[in-house]
Amino acid sequence: MRRGEVDEVERQLRRHRPPTAPEALADRITAAVGALAAPATVAWSDRLWFSRAARLGWAAAVLLLLAAEIALAPGKAGPPRPEQPHALPAMVGLALDLRLDPSWSERLAAAETPAASGLAEIHAAVDAL
């Protein structure tokens, strides 16, 4: 079917109007609404929820929370934690086994990268085992 034929049906429909509502219907609705026990009310929570300012406020608060969460989260490139107490006893044992200076246990527990001289000391201790 060609588009023009469909358009012609639409034009025919537009030449006519559906009937109007009977005038008595408005009075009927007035009577029905008047018979209601109590008129509708708007709860403060609805006003708060549907108010544009309140919605913008909620959205801003959520964005701020997200920003704070991201800013405070520890990243991969963040500084190492100053101490790792849970690892310390194992490192003390390891330092003793390797006959290293006792200060090494704390440095290893803190994941401190040893200097070249320190690495040489560790390698020497391992080789001596």
Partner 1 sequence: MKPLGNSNRPDREILERVAAGDRAALAELYTRDGAAAYRHALWILRRPADAEDVVQTVFVTLAVRGGELLGVRRPASYIAAMVHHEALALLRHPDRQADEGAELLLEAHSDAGLEVERLALGRALAKLDATQREVVFLRVHAGFTFREIGRMTGVSLFTVASRYRLVLIRLRRLLEGEDE
Assess 73 for contact with partner 1 (CB under 8 A).
Answer: no
Q: Are 106 and 88 in contact (CB under 8 A)?
A: yes
Of positions 47, 93, 111, 124, contacts partner 1 by CB under 8 A: 47
Residue 80 contacts residue 109 (beta carbons within 8 Å): no
Name the one range near partner 1 by CB under 8 A: 41-49, 64-72, 89-97, 99-107. Answer: 41-49
Q: How far apart are CA 120 and CA 114, in angstroms?
A: 9
Taking CB under 8 A as the rule, does residue 4 contact partner 1?
Answer: no
Q: Is 22 in the site for partner 1 (CB under 8 A)?
A: yes
Residue with Cβ nearer partner 1 (16 or 76): 16
12 or 103, CB closer to partner 1?
Answer: 12
Please state, in angstroms and rounded to a whole number, the distance separating the CA atoms of residues 43 and 118. 71
